[in-house]
Structure 1
Amino acid sequence: MIGWRLLLTRPTEDCAALAATLAESGVFSSSLPLLDIQPVPVTDAQRATLRELDRFCALIVVSKPAAHLGLDLLRQYWPQPPDQCWFSVGAATGQILADAGLRMFYPQQGDDSEALLELPQLREAIARPEPRVLIVRGEGGRELLSERLRNQGASVEYLELYRRCLPHYPEDALFQRIQVERLNGLVVSSGQGFSHLRQLAGSAWLQLARMPLFVPSPRVADMARAAGAEKVVDCRGASAAALLTALREHPVPVL
C-alpha cells in the first residue's frame, strides 16, 4: 500500500484517528475536514420522543456524534435506561453505546445499512405486531435504512441531534492541497461528506473526478458516479479496516 497519498475529509477527531492508523500501514494522508458537527437545540417533539423510548422495539444509532449526543440526552431522561435492543451501523458507534451499558448489536461483517438490515437481532426485534423503530441521527441521511424498515412493516421515527456543516475554506483550498501534497486518492465517509467535497471543489471537480474516490457504501458510490466520478471504490464500510482492505485491492495510480 506504500505509494498511496490520501485526502481525508472526516470530522477533525476522526481524521486524526484514521491518519494514525493509515500511517502504521505506510499510507500517507492529509486531513481536510469537510464535516463540522453542530448540535441542534432539542425540540418539544424530541423531548416527547425521549420520554417514550420504552415504546420502541429497536433504537438505531447511525454515527458516533449521534451516539455521544444521544447518550447525553438518555442520561437526562432515563437515569435507568429501559431494557431494549440498540443497534448501530458500525462497530465504533456500537462500542460507545455498549460502554454505556446498553444492549448493543451491530454487523460483524460490513458496516453499512445493508449489513445492518441483515442482522438477525434486528429482524427479530421488528417481527412483532406494529413495530416502532427510532433512528438517532443527524439532519437527513440513511433514507435507505428507513425505507427498507417501513417495507418490512415497521413504523420509523427520527431523533435528529446535529447538523453537518462545511467548514469555511478558501475557494481553492481543496485543489491546492491535492497539488502541493501530490495526493492520489480521495476518501469520504458519508453522502454529506461527498456533497461537501463536490461543493468545495467547484470548477476543479472535473479534474478531481478522475482521481480514485473511496466511499463507504453503494449509496454514496451511486451519488459519486452520478456526479461524474470516474474511479469510485466502494469500501463497504467507513472503518479504517474497510479502507485498508480496499487500498490493498486497488493499485496505486500512476500520476
Structure 2
Amino acid sequence: MATPPVLICRPGPRAAALAEAIAAEGFAVERGEVMALEPLPETPAHRAAWLDFDQFRRVVVVSPFAAECLAEALDRYWPQLPVGIDYYAVGAATAATLHRQLGVRVHLPPPGGADTSEALLALGSLQRLAGQRLLLVAGEGGRALMAETLAARGARLTRLAVYRRRLLEPSPTLRRRLASGDYQALVVSSGEILGHLARWCSQAALNQPLIVSSTRLATLAGTLGFRLPVVASGATPDALAAAVARARDPERADVDHDDLEKG
C-alpha cells in the first residue's frame, strides 16, 4: 500500500516550491486547489495611484501575488521606475518577487524573526511617518492591522487592493482525504483556507498533524478542533517542510511549542 501523502493547500505558483521542499524531506506530496487568486480590474483609484507612484515615499507590499500585480501595473505606467522610494515586504517570498520583478532593495522584518505584519511594523523606519505618502498594496479584505497602524503613525496612506481571493470547493480526492484522515500532515498558511477546509475534516483528520506558519494560525486551528497543530518557524517552503519532518518524527510526536519559533 502506498504511503499516504502530505497535503498542501497553498494557492498560486508558490505551491510548487513548497511541494519540492517537502518532497526533499522524503515525503510524497498531494496538492489541493482550494483558493484562486484573481487580479482585480483596474479602477480610477488604481490608475490614480499608478500615475502618482513617484509621489509615494514608502510602498508596503503584503504578499507575493500583490507584488506581481504591482510590478505588472508599473510596467505599464513607468518604463523607468521612479527613484527615492523605500519598499517593504511582510515576508521573504514577497521581497524576492519585488527584487526579481522590479530590481529594488526591499526592507524586511529582522532575520530570524517572524514574517508577520507585527514584525514589519516594528522596523524603526516605520515608526514616525507624519505627512509621508505611503502606498499599501494588498488583496481584498484581510487583516486591518497594517493599514490602521500606519495611519495612526501619521502616514498619508493609500490602501490599494489589487487582487481577490476566491475559495474553491475541494476536489473529490481532497474531500476523501479529509473525510478519512488518510494523509501524513496537512500544511496550511492561511486562516481563510484553514477555516474553509475545516468544514470537510472528520475527527480522524482533526487528529492528524496540521502544519501552520504562525502562532495566530495555531490558535485558530485549536478553535476549529485540530488537535495537533505544529508551528513552523515561518511561511517559507523550507520552514514548512522542516515542520512536517518534525511532526512525523516519532521522537518528536509531542511537539514542544516552546522550542518552536513563532511563524
Fold similarity call, TM over 0.5: yes
* Matched position secondary structure for 1:161: strand
Task: Provide the aligned C-alpha RMSD in A.
Answer: 2.7
CA contact (8 A) 2:138 2:160 kept: yes
Alpha-carbon distance between aligned partners in 2 of 1:82 and 1:20, rounded to the nearest angstrom: 36
In terms of mean alpha carbon deviation, does 157-166 or 177-186 score higher? 177-186
Q: Please state how far the C-alpha of 1:91 moved relative to its aligned partner.
A: 1.6
Shift of 1:223: 2.6
Q: Deviations over 1:43-99 (max 9, x none)?
A: 111211222223333211111211111101011222222221111112222112112
Unmatched 5+ stretches in structure 1 = none
Question: How do 1:106-255 and structure 2 match up within 5 A?
Answer: 106-107=108-109, 108-109=111-112, 110-119=114-123, 123-170=124-171, 173-178=173-178, 182-199=182-199, 201=200, 204-252=201-249
Map residues 55-70 of structure 1 onto 2, 5 A cutoff: 55-70=55-70
Cα gap change, 1:169 to 1:232, in 2 (>3 Å): closer
Q: Structure 1 counterpart of 2:49, which letter? A: T
User: Which amino acid is the alignment partner of residue 115 of structure 1?
Assistant: A
Give the 5 Å matches for 1:9-20: 9-20=9-20
* Alignment partner, residue 45 of structure 1: 45
| Pair 128,182 (structure 1): closer, same or farther in 2 beyond 3 Å | closer
Indicate how the Cα distance of structure 1 residues 58 and 82 shifts in structure 2: closer, same or farther if over 3 A, else same. Answer: same
Structure 1 residue ranges, 4+ long, deviating more than 6 angstroms after superposition: none
* Count of aligned pairs between the two proteins: 245
Kept after mapping to 1: 8 A contact 2:180/2:205: no
Matches within 5 A, 1:18-37: 18-37=18-37
> Any conservation in 2 of the 1:57–1:125 contact (CA below 8 Å)?
no
Residues 17 and 221 from structure 1, CA distance in 2 versus in 1: closer, same or farther, beyond 3 angstroms? same
Match of 2:104 in 1: 102
8 Å CA contact 2:129–2:150 kept in 1: the answer is no
